[in-house]
Amino acid sequence: MSSLQLIFGNKNYSSWSLRPWLLMKHYQVSFEEKRIPLFTDESKQALSQLNSNGKVPVLMDGDFEVWDSLAILEYISEQYLDGKGWPQNNQARAVARAVSAEMHSSFVAVRSEMPMNCRKQFKNFTYSTAAQKDIDRICSLWEMCRSTYGDGGAWLFGEFSIADAMFAPIALRFHGYGVELPTTAQAYVVSILHHPHIQAWIEEGKRETEVIAADEI
């Protein structure tokens, strides 16, 4: 049995949970899945035992606990992937870290107006100018990564990296909310949607029965 356990939320809704789950699945790091449906008395009780301020994802490596998606991704890369979570070239790695950090700290309009919801497919969805600004920035980041560093494969830096894990839930949102995208961004969304582990996550999310009202638009 693996010493790693990933504690995460509802697959339908929990975008932060998807990120470390995807990197570990992509690189075949073996781990036990512990799903905790969020915003229930049971989840509050279970998560109150951990250091993560009531939030998921949390990674347990034996007794060692690390929380927050980006910190978990870094830990997995260092501890289990020999650094393969980031591009090997120094400058590509610096940019991959920059776009991942920007994803982690920004795009509030997209995140709040378009909550991840694997079950939903919207037509004619309208969003604010703030969300459009986020979308434009994300598309320009994707374009820059793909054109400057993406030669070696379909991912932002060629090989699949932490940056792809960070942006995968944004790609699912763009798809689900029917956002019209420039060619490179649209192609990247398709690459994410075709990822076999993304397809598995979406299917498992669709089979969940819990409804989180705040994430239903």
Residues that bind ligand GSH (CB under 6 A): 9, 14-17, 38, 54-57, 68-70
Q: Smallest gap, in angstroms, from Cβ of residue 123 to ligand GSH?
A: 25
User: CA torsion sign, 136 to 137 to 140 to 145?
Assistant: negative
**3-state SS assignment for residue 27:** coil
Residue 29 or 71: the one with the smaller Cβ distance to ligand GSH is: 71
What letter would DSSP give residue 117? -
Chain mean position to CA 155: 14
Q: What is the Rg, in whole angstroms, of the alpha carbon atoms belonging to the chain?
A: 17
- Joined tokens for residue 153: 């494969």
- Beta bridge partner(s), residue 159: 157
**Strands of the 64-67 sheet, one edge to the other:** 32-35, 4-8, 58-61, 64-67
Residue 37 or 158: the one with the smaller Cβ distance to ligand GSH is: 37
Q: Smallest gap, in angstroms, from Cβ of residue 72 to ligand GSH?
A: 7
- Joined tokens for residue 187: 């192609």
Residue 1 or 213: the one with the smaller Cβ distance to ligand GSH is: 213
Residue 35 or 137: the one with the smaller Cβ distance to ligand GSH is: 35
Residue 38 or 149: the one with the smaller Cβ distance to ligand GSH is: 38
Q: Smallest gap, in angstroms, from Cβ of residue 67 to ligand GSH?
A: 7
Q: Smallest gap, in angstroms, from Cβ of residue 186 to ligand GSH?
A: 25
What letter would DSSP give residue 34? E
Q: Smallest gap, in angstroms, from Cβ of residue 153 to ligand GSH?
A: 25
